[in-house]
Structure 1
């Protein structure tokens, strides 16, 4: 036998051994029947089946040593809910499958899940996203896809980022479409966005029906739409929206994962015309393994000449779900030889599966695929462009960083440049003036009298036109001008045919709720009960309700008014110092000055006369009168000597005859004090006797109630309800029609059918005081209110922007100009410019420094005098002390 023959024999023997080993290994694997229910004729069904087959081939190619093998039993549901249920029943009863993958739609899955629960067989869906399936509480339902509720937070963050206040959801009239709406509503409410309307599209709607709904949406203010429907219906809907002109400027379209999850990862978007649309979709990290899979997918599609070459995230989830099922079956099969009782164990393993799949971190928690992050995409042409990301931890961000410690953000600055419908990069404001109304109808009240300064309605040259002016009108015009966009509007008086106002202010505000007015402008107070059915802007006037009363002149009505310039403590202190100075001079002078000699009574009289004479002769007599008493020398002067002149001489040593005497030093300082005190007293008394002293007749509600006075309140006003908190007798409350009636009512008084005080809002009362500021005053407590505001319908998108404009106007010079134009200068008082409040009395706090100087000077003079006296009589004093000391020793 040759060498070649030996080699050939050896090779055949080895091949025989290997093939026998493989056959033996295959005979040792355990087949596990698994059902697959998909719609064979749909793109999602074809893609899902192909991904499932590729997953099994890839898995067992790399895990050939596993003892289990999944055997697929495919059933076509043919887009029918009933057929899907029948196919599931066939798989469960006849084939005895251990699990079912599918079906595609949420409606089909609803019935199949019930069958799986009854048979205790896991149902694994990679495309049923409706939240309603979670309410079934089936332990055997494994959702290998994201539930629709995951995306609502991402959508609401987008709405909050751009400041949109109203959103209209557009969804399919199916269980899939309706399931997410309650969760979307809650998420939008959390960011202060409301849903004024819900647009429901039937899944079998034709183009005419869709167009009719689109035209209805065009007549509304809201221009932000969230579209949640299957891709085939979405393609039809957006094609018609593009046709009717709703893919243009000012429109905002946000699509949910119901459409974005079907975007192909292979081919451009050619079937869904959505230029400028925003969307959210699950983030799939691009890895080499995914790129390799996509390459294989393209190669297989070209090999089979398949027209359905699209691959979406549902295909990746189908792939990962199949891998997870194969791993779970192997894990359960390694511990259990019989598969008839392993359904529960298989369910438990599947419910907590985690692997790194094609879609990323494929982590099932409690039977639900966990979400990690969403991409925010912008459709430009037929290409989707990622402009940002959203995560539950960080909100909107430019990139993904799962370890970031940044705060949650909803800032649009974290997004890339967005190309909106109409090929503009400027974000739409989210609303427009409805196309069926040219201008906003702004209702205004109709009032006469002084109150017309706020809103005044007059007839124009023709009977059909009206001219509306006033403070409130000018403020509203300035606010609307300050808006960053133009809003056309017209004023419509709330008036009857006879020219009278058609109701009170509550009825005027209610017209906005009824839709008869788009807004109300006027002296309308912001109240809690009105805010229940309308929205107010920020106030543009001073807030509060207070009391106005007449004032009285108290001049010359007090016989002791001459005591009022000084307070009692200043009077007492001055008197004490007069006595103190007299006593001090007597101590210093009575030994050497013969004017202080005589009896005790004469000495006391002379001392007091000297002290008080400094005040009596302070303005006319020369001070030398007092100095002559002290030093017995006449001050020679060739000119009249006044107090000020003599004090100047004494201070600078120009009176040599007067220096060196302690009494003179004290008198100089005391004269300064007396001069200042008398001048201040004279000025204060003059003011009290010549200037009007105005005083409120009442200062509190308690005073009015105690004396039984009548209190007024404006007719048809909320002020009456506020007054009830004071527990005022209803018989003592009187209403008045307009602010100008106050003067007549006050002149009559409570005893003659008038009133003693009145309550009203501060803007009205200040307007009244502009013409009567010397007759009345605001007193008493100020009841807090919210001021005047502009009225808009509940949830109006104009309110935030108008409120911002109100702040801009009220904080600037424009408001000052408007106030001057209608109310004049606040400092002017046309009735009596000299009127003022009562002058306050002078107190000791203003003069205690002067008295301190006098006291310190007197003390220093006394110390010097005593020291000099002791020094001059030291020998006599020492002799006297010696005698006393000797006398003590002798005792």
Structure 2
């Protein structure tokens, strides 16, 4: 309720100030008129909204600045969308009204001529809707109160890069705007290796049937990424028909330029419903209290939404009013021409004496308007940040920004050292056509079209590289092998779909149709589009085909299975000898113990006792000679009989000879 009271009070104050200002002007009061010509197409949305905003800006500005001694006087001319009428209106304003500035001019086809007229008369021309890069900027008297298309061209390219789409189709009308931006858009895309295989040009006077026929043609192609640049009237019909035939559904991608995005709020709800999931870009406007109040006033007065063209028209009037106050009025504003002629003779156009001074004052004017920071550098408006939107529900939702220095970002407040990036992660959540949250691939398998014919050699031997087998029952051919697997992986890695089929180079009976030289020559005759197989690169074959880099080495080699069966454990010492040798060694140990027991048992008490003790001695004695042989020798030396020693020594030497002989 408080906000409504403030708005009503603001309107009342504005009307009262206009009344007082009108009385001051009508009674003289030392106020000078500064004549400004306005040429607009009042049949267009931009023209109507722009003119209404200029009238409101004129009233608001002089309400706030009632002490200004120079006041703008606007002279409107309706071009009705006709180029010739627009040019004649400019000549009339320069010759008869002697305007000191011009505002408007919506078409690039008429701007070149008008710019020359303004340059000749030294009259600044300000356009708040001319975005085309084709508009000449050779004259310092042409001022663009909007960004040119170079910013949105780079922003669209960054979006395509972020989602790694490699092919797009551009749909545009054959107007000055469409024909102006398309070449620059194609160049920007191709610089990033993004192909434009098809351009769809739709006439501004196309019927619904003609639009439907063109969309059916696009539907039969494999590409599913479309960039649309056209007027709001034609664009509305395009999306209504596209949604009707199922092209605004899952798998499709639609990106619209600012020509459509800037006018989304003024479109019918049925059109918005047919554009669900569409991505769009438009200049970013920072929200402010002044913008909020003005938007409410606008809706109450005109019962329609406001667009950025109206805001810039509003700020253009403020800029021109401040510059006019600095320049003031002089007695001799125009120099008379030397000769008199008819209305259409441009030699009779007078030269403004305040033009250079006014141009300098405009370039030095800087303020915060409804559309943001409003100032010019080299005749261009400086506010290049673009907003990326997603059409959802009844309106649009912000999903990111494009900043010239940093690329795509979720936020505007970035550190100065932030690198330029086009990452998909820098977008907020996107709802794609068909209410899908999955990023579309950008292509589909076409329902019809030519397949890539890939020739394959047929030969005996080395089937691991290429193997061609024919099933005698089904008459189908199975093609496998290392080279085939490599080719399939390469084709699967492509960011777009390519239909292909393998065609064996063989006769009807299954035999080979020729050598590799003849196979490669089939590329020259266009029988095959490519050849896959173990084909050596030679100078002769290079005359008919381009070869990939070799991915296998030539020559003969052998492949064997490598088995590492080594076990790093305590029993590794058992590995050098075989099982039979270990059993033989154990048997001789037992034999040695038995022989010693036979010789020592009659005379040596150590070799007597119970049967188990004597058996244990047979096993223990040969083992003791390895571990602690000196103990056994000492026992023998301590014997009371020399014969015992000799007998033991003889037995030991006998056993040793047997082991050495083995």
Matched, 1:405 2:417: yes
Matched, 1:310 2:305: yes
Matched, 1:278 2:279: yes
Superposition pairs of residues 12-51 of structure 1, within 5 angstroms: 22=24, 26-51=28-53
CA deviations over 1:565-606 (Å, ceiling 9, x no partner): xxxxxxxxxxxxxxxxxxxxxxxxxxxxxxxxxxxxxxxxxx
Superposition pairs of residues 766-777 of structure 1, within 5 angstroms: none
Equivalent residue for 1:211? 212
Q: Could you tell which deviates more after superposition, 20-29 or 523-532?
A: 523-532
Superposition pairs of residues 746-785 of structure 1, within 5 angstroms: none
Indicate conservation of the 8 Å contact 1:33/1:98, yes or no: yes
The DSSP-based 3-state class of the residue aligned with 1:203 is coil
Equivalent residue for 2:504? 493
TM-score by length of 2: 0.71
Superposition pairs of residues 393-472 of structure 1, within 5 angstroms: 393-401=405-413, 403-437=415-449, 440-461=451-472, 465-472=476-483
Once residues 527 and 389 of structure 2 are traced to their aligned partners in structure 1, the CA distance between those partners, rounded to angstroms, is 38
The DSSP-based 3-state class of the residue aligned with 2:440 is coil
Shift in Å, 1:399 = 1.2
Once residues 463 and 357 of structure 2 are traced to their aligned partners in structure 1, the CA distance between those partners, rounded to angstroms, is 82
Superposition pairs of residues 726-745 of structure 1, within 5 angstroms: none
Change (3 A) 1:24 1:123: closer
Unaligned runs of 5+ in 1: 1-17, 303-308, 550-644, 655-891
Superposition pairs of residues 478-627 of structure 1, within 5 angstroms: 490-494=501-505, 500=513, 504=518, 506-507=520-521, 517=529, 521-523=532-534, 542-544=551-553
* Aligned partner of 2:387 among 360, 375, 379: 375
Change (3 A) 1:347 1:382: same
Q: Could you tell which deviates more after superposition, 283-292 or 493-502?
A: 493-502
Indicate conservation of the 8 Å contact 2:35/2:73, yes or no: yes
Indicate conservation of the 8 Å contact 1:104/1:127, yes or no: yes
Matched, 1:322 2:324: no
The DSSP-based 3-state class of the residue aligned with 1:167 is strand
Shift in Å, 1:410 = 1.0
Indicate conservation of the 8 Å contact 1:167/1:196, yes or no: yes
CA deviations over 1:470-521 (Å, ceiling 9, x no partner): 232345567778999999764333557785159656556678xx7965x754
Once residues 60 and 539 of structure 2 are traced to their aligned partners in structure 1, the CA distance between those partners, rounded to angstroms, is 67
Change (3 A) 1:493 1:211: farther
CA deviations over 1:120-147 (Å, ceiling 9, x no partner): 221111111111003x512211111111
Matched, 1:60 2:72: no
Q: Which has the larger radius of gyration?
A: 1
Equivalent residue for 2:615? none
CA deviations over 1:543-584 (Å, ceiling 9, x no partner): 455x679xxxxxxxxxxxxxxxxxxxxxxxxxxxxxxxxxxx
Shift in Å, 1:453 = 3.7
CA deviations over 1:659-702 (Å, ceiling 9, x no partner): xxxxxxxxxxxxxxxxxxxxxxxxxxxxxxxxxxxxxxxxxxxx
Indicate conservation of the 8 Å contact 2:453/2:528, yes or no: no
Change (3 A) 1:256 1:494: farther
Once residues 285 and 528 of structure 1 are traced to their aligned partners in structure 2, the CA distance between those partners, rounded to angstroms, is 65
Indicate conservation of the 8 Å contact 2:322/2:365, yes or no: no
CA deviations over 1:100-124 (Å, ceiling 9, x no partner): 1112233333332232223222111
Shift in Å, 1:50 = 0.5
* Aligned partner of 2:333 among 339, 351, 371: 339
CA root-mean-square deviation? 3.9
Equivalent residue for 1:147? 148
Change (3 A) 1:532 1:171: farther
Indicate conservation of the 8 Å contact 1:350/1:367, yes or no: no
Once residues 426 and 495 of structure 1 are traced to their aligned partners in structure 2, the CA distance between those partners, rounded to angstroms, is 45
Once residues 137 and 418 of structure 1 are traced to their aligned partners in structure 2, the CA distance between those partners, rounded to angstroms, is 42
Indicate conservation of the 8 Å contact 1:281/1:375, yes or no: yes
Matched, 1:473 2:468: no
Indicate conservation of the 8 Å contact 1:274/1:381, yes or no: no
Change (3 A) 1:52 1:213: same
Change (3 A) 1:197 1:503: farther
TM-score by length of 1: 0.53
Indicate conservation of the 8 Å contact 1:104/1:125, yes or no: yes
* Aligned partner of 2:118 among 111, 116, 125: 116
The DSSP-based 3-state class of the residue aligned with 1:319 is helix
Change (3 A) 1:543 1:527: farther
Once residues 177 and 20 of structure 1 are traced to their aligned partners in structure 2, the CA distance between those partners, rounded to angstroms, is 43
Unaligned runs of 5+ in 2: 1-19, 335-352, 558-624, 635-662
Once residues 351 and 64 of structure 1 are traced to their aligned partners in structure 2, the CA distance between those partners, rounded to angstroms, is 24
The number of aligned residues is: 523
Equivalent residue for 2:607? none
Shift in Å, 1:388 = 0.7
Change (3 A) 1:385 1:548: same
The DSSP-based 3-state class of the residue aligned with 2:375 is strand
Shift in Å, 1:149 = 1.4
